[in-house]
Amino acid sequence: MKRCAGFSLIELVIAIAIMGIVLSISTLSFNSWTRKSTIEKQTRELFTDISEARTNAFTRKKVYGIVLQPTSYIMKSYSSEVEYSSSAAAVANGVVIETKSLENGLKTASGSDITDTAVVFDTTGFTTSWFLGLTAFVGAVTEPAGLNCVVIYKSRTNMGKINGTNCEFR
């Protein structure tokens, strides 16, 4: 009688176990890659919207601003200096152009949430804001994304990757 060649139950269980391990590792890697990609996308979008507000301010000769909040930001335009004379006034006043939600949130270098911080651009495209370089991190400060921070200066905006508590520009 010929003996039929085939798989034993043990061989089949081992093959399924190996496939399960490979699948779980690839799922973890995919989830990490997806989160990293989302953070980079949101960082680029925030950078683009800040640059657009700056450009609109000097090309349209109108004051524009962005109010940064923990899980969103609001793009606004202002019609009088009274509306943006202080950070609190800029947050409370102005015409809302668009509101954008952030899945990963905005943080400071210390890891705390950015709360109602107004960045206002005058008709020359410079910030009228009350700071010298605001750094906003998208997601947790410890995220491994390639781009995860934006630094807003009086005359320019840079995008980069966090290194410690600093944003290194690309």
Confidence of residue 11 (pLDDT cuts 50, 70, 90): confident
Q: What is the pLDDT of residue 95?
A: 92
Answering whether pTM is above 0.95, one says no
pLDDT surpasses 70 at 1? no
Q: What is the DSSP string of 52-79?
A: HHHHHHHHHTSEEEEEE-SSEEEEEEES
- Which residue, among 76, 42, 74, 72, has the nearest Cα to 57 in the 3D structure? 76
Confidence of residue 100 (pLDDT cuts 50, 70, 90): very high
Range 10-169 classified under CATH 3.10.20.440: no
Q: What is the pLDDT of residue 130?
A: 59
pLDDT surpasses 80 at 107? yes
| Integer-rounded Cα radius of gyration of the chain | 24
* Burial environment of residue 78 by CB neighbours within 10 A (0 to 12, 13 to 18, 19 or more): buried
Whole-number mean pLDDT of the chain? 85
Confidence of residue 74 (pLDDT cuts 50, 70, 90): very high
pLDDT surpasses 80 at 5? no
For the chain, give the percent of residues with pLDDT over 70. Answer: 92
Q: What is the pLDDT of residue 60?
A: 93
Q: What is the pLDDT of residue 13?
A: 92
Structural domain boundaries in the chain: 10-169
Q: What is the pLDDT of residue 14?
A: 92
SS3 6: coil
Give the pairing of strands 157-163 and 166-169: antiparallel
Alpha-carbon distance values, 87 to 8, 66, 96 (Å): 73, 11, 16
* Token digits of residue 127: 């910030």
CB 83, CB 90: distance < 8 Å: yes
Q: What is the pLDDT of residue 72?
A: 92
User: What is the pLDDT averaged over residues 38-62?
Assistant: 92
Confidence of residue 110 (pLDDT cuts 50, 70, 90): confident
